[in-house]
């Protein structure tokens, strides 16, 4: 009988985190405003909490139904997942809007570098044959094709935290299985299937426009080389975002420098000759359709392939080369998010339903779990969320220069040694002075050419 209390104690902290997340983010109100409701029977909130908590209990739906009796049956859960009138896109967007505002209130850093990260991943269903809109999708990491769907995601990041905002499940032009044909074209379920057959650039512009209309504050859009399309970059820039993207080495992309058109390879030669240090940059105009868009091209050496260069493009030409590289580095945060959702939060294995609506519902719940974990991790690990006193101390330490920090460190060493070995503070001070003189002499012997400069600094 002692096993049951231990199991409850083990899950009690997680339950507290989930309850606090549901309360602070007002999940019930978000469900109702997104038309996720039931007229009779089990409340929608109970079903959502049940599905949301399965992964934290290390259970699946079938196992949870066998262990303990529920006030609802398994068919109730399946009907909830397969319902096509639930507006899960609106729910996730409103949740992301509240989560980003909460993260911004915790941070006291400059917020002019907030960005939206765009990337896609493969939603694998390798054993499925009759899943709605099932397609052959290429996995670029493994360089092979899988049966499944493509998941285009836009996430918000301030650097330490990334919050998924919107996603779209995309099928190929010639899917293995077609979509349902018995749906009214005016319904949400029909529009959802129609969007799944659009192109990625078209869907991306629609998603960014919805994110801007929702009030999510961001200034940059970060994308990898797959999304380097001049027309797409120009359309995103018209929405009010600056773009930082990795450039493809293709001969059909032209850049205007002065009155001449250049390819990326010719720009690399010009930039490398004008600047002897890496990274090097050059301001040009990208040919996008019938017009030109001013961009800053930054060339940095490849960290794994000797002799290769990585080219980054930024529509904000006032940034330095280092700022462009650091901004693009924030794009990597979406890759661990995908890995965590797949390996830990059961993105691909949560449901094996054939319905396209059930897949959208399951993915939305998985991303909601990730938002819960991201907020909890940020609030518990970020020192800027630990109170005003620690914020003041953090600002004081940040503004401390190297000499002051070294002075306080030597004082700490002096007090520790004198107290531990019961030595006279004068003797400890004499030892530290000898060490300081020896280190000074050693530094001068290593850098004889800098001796006049060091003497000038001492004076």
Tokens of 395: 């600002």
Name the least confident of 68-82, 167-181, 419-433: 419-433
| SS3 call for 279 | coil
Q: Is the distance from CB of 224 to CB of 120 less than 8 angstroms?
A: no
Q: Which of 346, 342, 339 is nearest to 53 (CA)?
A: 346
What would the pLDDT profile of 312-344 be if each residue is shown by its tens digit? 999 999 999 999 999 999 999 999 999 999 999
In this prediction, residue 389 has a pLDDT band, given cuts at 50, 70 and 90, of: very low
Of residues 306 and 392, the one with the higher pLDDT is: 306
Q: Distance (Å, rounded) from C-alpha 113 to C-alpha 222?
A: 11
In this prediction, residue 360 has a pLDDT band, given cuts at 50, 70 and 90, of: very high
Q: Distance (Å, rounded) from C-alpha 277 to C-alpha 60?
A: 56
The CA angle 36-18-86, to the nearest 5 degrees, is 10
What would the pLDDT profile of 265-314 be if each residue is shown by its tens digit? 888 888 877 766 678 889 999 998 888 999 999 999 888 778 788 999 99
| SS3 call for 294 | strand
Residue 447: predicted pLDDT? 45
**Res. 453: pLDDT tops 50:** no
**Res. 62: pLDDT tops 80:** no
Distance of CA 322 to the CA centre of its chain: 20
In this prediction, residue 74 has a pLDDT band, given cuts at 50, 70 and 90, of: confident
**Res. 36: pLDDT tops 90:** yes
What would the pLDDT profile of 76-88 be if each residue is shown by its tens digit? 999 999 999 999 9
Q: Distance (Å, rounded) from C-alpha 244 to C-alpha 241?
A: 10
Q: Distance (Å, rounded) from C-alpha 286 to C-alpha 261?
A: 9
Side-chain half-sphere exposure of 433, counting CA atoms within 13 A: 6
**Res. 9: pLDDT tops 90:** no
- Asked whether the bond before 279 is cis by omega within 30 degrees of 0, the reply is yes
Residue 306: predicted pLDDT? 81
Residue 284: predicted pLDDT? 94
Scored b (16 or more CB within 10 A) or e, 247-268 reads bbeeeebbbebeeeebebeebb
- Asked whether the bond before 402 is cis by omega within 30 degrees of 0, the reply is no
In this prediction, residue 15 has a pLDDT band, given cuts at 50, 70 and 90, of: low
Of residues 412 and 92, the one with the higher pLDDT is: 92
C-beta neighbour count of 279 within 10 angstroms = 18
């Amino acid at each position: 009988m002692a096993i049951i209390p231990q199991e409850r104690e083990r899950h009690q902290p997680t339950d507290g985190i989930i309850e606090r997340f549901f309360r602070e983010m007002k999940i019930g109100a978000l469900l109702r405003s997104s038309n996720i409701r039931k007229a009779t029977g089990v409340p929608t909130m109970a079903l959502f909490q049940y599905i949301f908590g399965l992964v934290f209990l290390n259970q699946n739906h079938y196992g949870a139904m066998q262990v303990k009796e529920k006030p609802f049956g398994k068919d109730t859960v399946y009907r909830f997942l397969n319902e096509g009138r639930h507006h899960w896109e609106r729910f996730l967007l409103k949740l992301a809007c509240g989560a980003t505002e909460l993260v911004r209130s915790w941070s006291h850093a400059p917020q002019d570098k907030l960005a939206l990260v765009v990337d896609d991943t493969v939603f694998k269903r390798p054993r499925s044959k009759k899943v709605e809109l099932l397609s052959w999708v290429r996995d670029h990491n493994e360089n092979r094709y899988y049966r499944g769907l493509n998941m285009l995601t836009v996430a918000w990041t301030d650097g330490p935290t990334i919050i998924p905002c919107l996603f779209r499940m995309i099928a190929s032009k010639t899917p293995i299985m077609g979509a349902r044909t018995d749906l009214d074209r005016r319904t949400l379920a029909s529009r959802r299937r129609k969007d799944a057959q659009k192109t990625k650039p078209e869907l991306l512009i629609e998603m960014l426009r919805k994110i801007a209309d929702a009030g999510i504050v961001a200034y940059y859009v970060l994308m990898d080389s797959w999304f380097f399309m001049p027309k797409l970059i120009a359309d995103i820039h018209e929405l009010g975002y600056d773009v930082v993207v990795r450039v493809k080495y293709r001969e059909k992309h032209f850049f205007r420098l002065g009155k001449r058109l250049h390819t990326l390879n010719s720009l690399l030669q010009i930039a490398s000759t004008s600047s002897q240090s890496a990274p090097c940059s050059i301001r040009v105009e990208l040919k996008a359709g019938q017009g030109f868009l001013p961009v800053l091209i930054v060339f940095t050496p490849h960290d794994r392939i000797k002799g290769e260069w990585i080219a980054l493009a930024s529509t904000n030409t006032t940034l330095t080369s280092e700022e462009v590289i650091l901004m693009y580095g924030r794009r990597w945060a979406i890759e661990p998010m995908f890995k965590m959702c797949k390996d830990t939060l059961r993105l691909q294995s949560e449901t094996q339903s054939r319905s396209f609506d059930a897949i959208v519902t399951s993915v939305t719940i998985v991303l909601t779990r990730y938002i819960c974990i991201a907020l909890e991790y940020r609030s518990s690990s970020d020192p800027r969320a630990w109170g005003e006193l620690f914020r003041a101390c953090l600002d004081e330490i940040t503004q401390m220069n190297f000499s002051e920090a070294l002075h306080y460190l030597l004082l700490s060493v002096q007090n520790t040694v004198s107290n531990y070995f019961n030595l006279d503070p004068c003797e400890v001070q004499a030892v530290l002075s000898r060490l300081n003189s020896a280190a000074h002499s050693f530094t001068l012997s290593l850098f004889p050419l800098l001796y006049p400069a060091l003497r000038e600094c001492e004076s």
